[in-house]
Amino acid sequence: MYFNEMYDGDGVRPAYRALDGWMRDMPEELRTLKQSEAEALFRRIGITFAVYGEGGDPDRLIPFDMFPRVFTDTEWRRLERGIIQRARALNAFLCDVYGRAEIIKAGIVPAHLVYCNEAYEHAVVGFRPPKDVYSHIVGIDLVRTGPDEFFVLEDNCRTPSGVSYMLENREIMMRMFPHLFQENRIAPVESYPRQLNRTLASVAPEKCTGEPNVVILTPGHFNSAYYEHSFLADMMGVELVEGQDLFVEGDFVWMKTTEGPRKVDVIYRRIDDAYIDPLCFRPDSMLGIPGLMNVYRSGGVTICSAPGAGVADDKAIYTFVPEMVRFYLGEEPLLNNVPTWQCAKPDDLKYVLSHLAELVVKEVHGSGGYGMLVGPKASESQIAAFRAKIEARPHNYIAQPTLALSTCPTFVEEGVAPRHVDLRPYCLVGEDIVLVPGGLTRVALVDGSLVVNSSQGGGVKDTWVLAE
């Protein structure tokens, strides 16, 4: 039985009472008209995405559902405390594994999971970034299974995407249904770009004098998240640059402008580690800036999030985050992990192989809903094929129970029906740690599906936090 976030045994839950009448009173013709209006706004604004390796429409819309997802202030405050705690622990872990590695010496995290991890960057060993922050934008993917039961599915410590949808979902809802925002005290999210800019400026390097110059580094307009890169640059009032727009000279990174070179202090990079500096990482990269890492290590520029931050969000490392909280913070975790079997362990592997039809199996380095098996929804042939993959490379997989993800009312062709949802809040880590009251709610639009990723046909919703 799935937890329905709007209804319980006594009727409509308090958070959704204001939406009950709105939903019931909306004629089908108006719903269809408003849905078309939302899609037209998304396309006019340019909120599209592409999926690598696929043909078809390069300007695909992520389906937008008009029925918002709602949290009470009490629910949100609990989540906020747990997310901030987790972000602190993850950054402490990153500082540790690139430094004294105390958690490894203590026997809590196995050394091979860190040092043999493809996301571990030897180029930053011994380096301490400003304010000891490696991951400046932490996206924590959460699911709900009951009134008070939340679980972390995974951590995103590199360049979590989707925040533009959080902001645009709210903008479109306010345009289409202004009366809902007049009648309800909904916490605003529009401060995110300003807070992000403030967070990035707060970690300016030692050699920065005066107001930090922040830029966003994009791989270019062919990237699936390019809309978000340009959107954030515009909202923050900073320059959107590609590698060819920057160069290294002396101890600094410079940006080419029509008025001559301008020093860059903070780079919010939206490209992978391997491509940011061809002199340090992939020599064939045309996206990065030659010599960038030398300037970074000498304190001439800050890269956000830091190279090497990805070792903290590996799915094998994920299982140890509760222990990180205890080890570094001396606290009990406020948010639970999903129970996880590591196929690299013989006993775990034996259990997983004998229960594939019941489990969700994921690639350790996978993302976007790819490279995974949802056992209860898979055919016998799919299970057999995945079994062969796991047996060939057990260290490449983890497995988790199939959680009973909560559902939220969703506008579908036949009217309104429950659909499974998850949540990605965005935690900004700099001199301070801040969390806007909301996040990206993704919804599995296919009846019964548990896969919410946009690349797999999922949609998005506005996320409300009701202010006290």
Q: How many CB atoms lie within 10 A of CB 46?
A: 12
DSSP 448-464: T-----GGGT-EEEEEE
The CA-atom distances, in angstroms, between 66 and each of 7, 56, 63, 161, 353 are: 18, 26, 10, 21, 41
Amino acid at 367: S
Which pLDDT value is given to residue 54?
A: 46
Q: Is the dihedral of CA 215, 216, 221, 227 positive or negative?
A: negative
Tell me the mean pLDDT in the region 337-363: 94
User: Does 58 score more than 60 pLDDT?
Assistant: no
pLDDT in tens, 72-89: 999 999 999 999 999 999
* SS (HEC) of 315-372: HHHHCCHHHHHHHHHCCCCCCEECCCEECCCHHHHHHHHHCHHHEEEEECCCCCCCCE
Q: Is 103 helix (H, G, I), strand (E, B) or coil?
A: helix
Q: Is 250 left (phi over 0), alpha (psi -120 to 50) or beta?
A: left
* Percent of the chain surpassing pLDDT 70: 95
Confidence of residue 160 (pLDDT cuts 50, 70, 90): very high
**DSSP category for residue 163:** H
Query: Computed from CA positions of residues 173, 179, 183, 189, in that sequence, does the dihedral angle turn out positive or negative?
Result: positive
Structure confidence at residue 452 (pLDDT) = 85
- Residue 166 tokens, joined: 């959080």
Using CA atoms, how far apart are residues 384 and 184, in angstroms rounded to an integer?
51
Confidence of residue 55 (pLDDT cuts 50, 70, 90): very low
Q: Give the CA radius of gyration of the chain.
A: 22
The answer to whether the beta carbons of residues 440 and 423 sit under 8 Å apart is yes
Q: What is the mean pLDDT of residues 97-104?
A: 98
Angle at the Cα of 366 (from 354 to 447), degrees rounded to 5?
70
Secondary structure element (H or E) that encloses residue 400, with its range: strand 397-401
Q: What is the pLDDT of residues 199-223, one digit of tens each?
A: 999 999 999 999 999 999 999 988 8
Which is more confidently placed, 247 or 404?
247
Evaluate whether 72 touches 14 at the Cβ level (below 8 Å).
yes
Mean pLDDT, rounded, for 348-370: 86
Are 113 and 398 in contact, with CB atoms under 8 Å apart? no
Q: From residue 364, how far is each of 314, 324, 358, 398 by CA, in Å? A: 6, 19, 19, 6
State the pLDDT at residue 367. Answer: 59
265 and 301 Cβ atoms separated by less than 8 Å: yes
Domain 339-401 is found in CATH 3.40.50.720: no
What's the rounded Cα separation, in Å, for the pair 334 and 331?
9
SS3 253: strand
**CATH 3.30.1490.270 domain extents, the chain:** 339-401
Q: What is the mean pLDDT of residues 117-142?
A: 96
pLDDT digits (tens, 9 = 90+) for 434-463: 999 999 999 999 888 887 877 667 899 999
Cβ distance 108 to 320 under 8 Å?
A: yes
Nearest residue to 115 via CA among 107, 125, 106, 126: 125
**Model pLDDT for residues 247-291, shown as the tens digit of each residue:** 999 999 999 999 999 999 999 999 999 999 999 999 999 999 999
Determine contact, residues 67/461, Cβ cutoff 8 Å. yes
Could you give the angle at the alpha carbon of 218 between the alpha carbons of 255 and 189, nearest 5°?
Answer: 105
What is the chain's mean pLDDT, rounded? 92
Cα(310)–Cα(134) distance, rounded to whole angstroms?
Answer: 10
